[in-house]
Structure 1
Amino acid sequence: MAPILEVEPDSLPPSLDSLGLPEKEKPLLPAEMLEVDNHPRMPRIAILIDDLGYNRHGMESSLILPKEVALAILPGTPFASKTALGAQEQGRVTLLHAPMENQRELKLGPGGLYANMTKQELQATLNQDIDGLPGIQGVNNHMGSLLTTKQQAMDWVMETLTGRSLFFIDSLTSPQSVARQAAENHGLRTASRDVFLDNIRSEKAIDRQFARLIKLARRHGSALAIGHPYPETTAYLKKRLQQLKGDGVQLVPLLDVLLPPKTQHINH
């Protein structure tokens, strides 16, 4: 059984990592305004489990989590297609977990995107990755602490996603990432990761990160966490997500915390 590829640790300083996402806004009709005034929206959290596709256990343990939990799947992996199909049959949001070059020169596995690629090479590879996972709704970066800092490469990525009508999640593995801004510039629905749940694989550490997630959701209206299909993470979430009513927080599908598309202002 192949191991799950190593992922980059949370590299953001606390001052940046604690920033939350602004609550998604939408125009309201007058009657809806009154309803919102009387019934304020409950803080929302979204959870994305990525690094899926390498083994059956990760697939099975993730598919028993609440259907609001989204799954991101590595391309060209043994259980990629089966994981995507199982998730989509549940009505679950699925993403391509696109491998992107990192500063530590860790191996990316199949379908990797590199800073030295030409536009044609990068977009052809990304399109191949997307084609290998029919039915996905979005993309997020696997590793990527180098590539997500490259403006031109990110523009090429977002140009591809625009043509495929996909959203983009910045896993935020570098504080210098320009990925989310590039997505916004290209008119994509987008968001950035607020919290990594399981850089430390213990129940106590995961619980501490989950508490941060709730705190950020209360402060900003919504917050997004990324975790991995570790036994410690899936066991924790299976239990903890049943207790959210007591926290006054709502678990929602990933689509509900995306920022709406902005008007494109790319100079071609």
Structure 2
Amino acid sequence: MNPSKPPKNNGKGAPKKGTPESTVSKKKKPGRATRKRSPTWEDRLRVTLITALCIGVAVIGTTVILIGRALSNVPVEQDVPGGSGVSVPPPASPEGAPSEGSDPLSSLEPQGPLSPEGSYGPAEKPGTPGGAASPEKPGYVEGENSVTGIQRRGAPIEASPSSRASRIPENSVERIPSSSAVSRPAGGVIERPPTPQPKTKGTIAIILDDAGNNLHEVTPFLRLPFPLTIAVLPGLPYSAEVARRIRAAGKEVILHQPMEAVGGQNPGPGAIYSTMSEEEIRRVLEKNLTEVGPVVGINNHQGSRITSDPRIMKIVLAFCKEHGLYYIDSRTTADTVVPLVAKEIRLPIGERDVFIDNVQEKETMIRFIRDGVQKAEKKGAAVMIGHVWSSELAATLEELYPELIAQGFTLSTVSRIVMGNFEDEGFGD
């Protein structure tokens, strides 16, 4: 190496004067420049999916929380007696209605029917020994005296304290009622079944016999605020006028047909006797209907001999059927054939259950009415017979009427009871 030659610097320039060669910084070798990578479509898709998943999880979580809070506010539908599946307040009882089982007449003991004297003579003897009525049959006396709201989700049920529904704890599941009576239409609305109507205990029809002797006897009964059936005797001074006034008052009129009695007492004008032919019987009936009519039915005045005669009763009942009339058997004898003949010719009939005013005392009449009420409750309907000449009867009926209605009984005309029984027996049109 020649010390006279300067050192090679390989074209990189000479080092500065006074600076060692070892202290000269070396430049980096040229190479590729670093570039920033742009995102690909795979990256974008990955980011989008991750974002959507996060949003979905958040939405689902929020929905679950809201549903849980809503369910915690829905009251439980508890089964109550009766199986309705929903707690419903009990229906209010009618104003002034007595408690179940109450009887305004319970303080009075029933008393058997007694035989009065007839309008046209003494009453016939009852059909049982000693004048007492048979325990199996009524006494036979001759003569005319003889759902209310809708529950929406989140709203409490308005109910009485005793039947208010309890609420389920938060975050618990709603209990579904076992009864099928509760419907769940779309929208989550719970509909309550309608409140059943109270059942009628029985129907009572009252017949008032012996109208036609005068005008003043029938007047108090025409003012009574419930249906009545009034039987008018033919051939009396005021028969036609009384019948007209009864119809004008909206009450029901029937012909009170006089008939021969076993005891021989006088049945009055326009009567039917056992010695009459069919032509004579029909002529009497036509004449009486012309005088008293129009009427809806016929019942017998006295008539223990006639109502036990199949031949005559077949004529009378056939006449009723031809004229569209029903027949009421006053049952003045235990030997009556009216039910058998009526069934044979398919005619609707009714039968007397109680004589109200055999004794002209208010307490006794109430006892007989009480007996009729018990029969109506047992059989569904009862027919009671009184008389227009009973001085205490109109006031007694008016006094008892509100109590009978409050107990669940209905007062009606005889025709409604008779036609109802006729349909039940399946006689047809």
Shorter-chain TM band? 0.7 to 0.9
Contact 1:10–1:173 (8 Å) recurs in 2? no
- State the secondary structure of the residue aligned to 1:132: helix
Q: Give TM-score, length-normalised by structure 2.
A: 0.54
Over 3 Å counting, the alpha-carbon distance change for 1:67 and 1:249 in structure 2 is: closer
Q: Which residue of 2 aligns with 1:178?
A: 337
Higher relative contact order, structure no. (Cα contacts within 8 Å, ≥ 6 residues apart): 1
Q: Which runs of 5+ in 1 are unaligned?
A: 19-34
Counterpart AA for 2:287: Q
Asked if 1:207 corresponds to 2:360, the answer is: no
For each residue in 1:63-96, what CA deviation from the matched residue of structure 2 results, as whole angstroms up to 9, or x when unmatched? 2233411100000111111111111112211100
Contact 1:96–1:130 (8 Å) recurs in 2? yes
Asked if 1:16 corresponds to 2:137, the answer is: yes
For each residue in 1:240-265, what CA deviation from the matched residue of structure 2 results, as whole angstroms up to 9, or x when unmatched? 2232123321111212211216649x
Contact 1:7–1:143 (8 Å) recurs in 2? no
Tell me the distance in 1 between the aligned counterparts of 2:251 and 2:381.
Answer: 19
Contact 1:46–1:252 (8 Å) recurs in 2? yes
- State the secondary structure of the residue aligned to 1:103: coil
Contact 1:71–1:93 (8 Å) recurs in 2? yes
C-alpha displacement of 1:125: 0.7
Contact 1:185–1:263 (8 Å) recurs in 2? no
Contact 2:359–2:365 (8 Å) recurs in 1? yes
Moved over 4 A (4+): 261-264
Tell me the distance in 2 between the aligned counterparts of 1:203 and 1:49.
Answer: 16
Pairs aligned (count): 245
CA RMSD of aligned residues (A): 2.2
Tell me the distance in 1 between the aligned counterparts of 2:120 and 2:401.
Answer: 26
Q: Which residue of 2 aligns with 1:240?
A: 400
Over 3 Å counting, the alpha-carbon distance change for 1:250 and 1:6 in structure 2 is: farther
- 1:150 paired residue among 287, 294, 309: 309
More helix by share: 1
Tell me the distance in 2 between the aligned counterparts of 1:131 and 1:212.
Answer: 36
Largest Rg, 1 or 2 = 2
- State the secondary structure of the residue aligned to 1:147: coil
- 1:132 paired residue among 279, 291, 295: 291
- State the secondary structure of the residue aligned to 1:78: coil
For each residue in 1:189-213, what CA deviation from the matched residue of structure 2 results, as whole angstroms up to 9, or x when unmatched? 2110000001111111101000001
Percentage of matched positions with identical amino acids = 27
Tell me the distance in 2 between the aligned counterparts of 1:91 and 1:14.
Answer: 37
Tell me the distance in 2 between the aligned counterparts of 1:87 and 1:123.
Answer: 25
Counterpart AA for 2:399: K
C-alpha displacement of 1:7: 7.4
Over 3 Å counting, the alpha-carbon distance change for 1:256 and 1:58 in structure 2 is: same
Query: Which shifted more, 135-144 or 37-46?
Result: 37-46
Q: Give TM-score, length-normalised by structure 1.
A: 0.84
Over 3 Å counting, the alpha-carbon distance change for 1:58 and 1:78 in structure 2 is: same
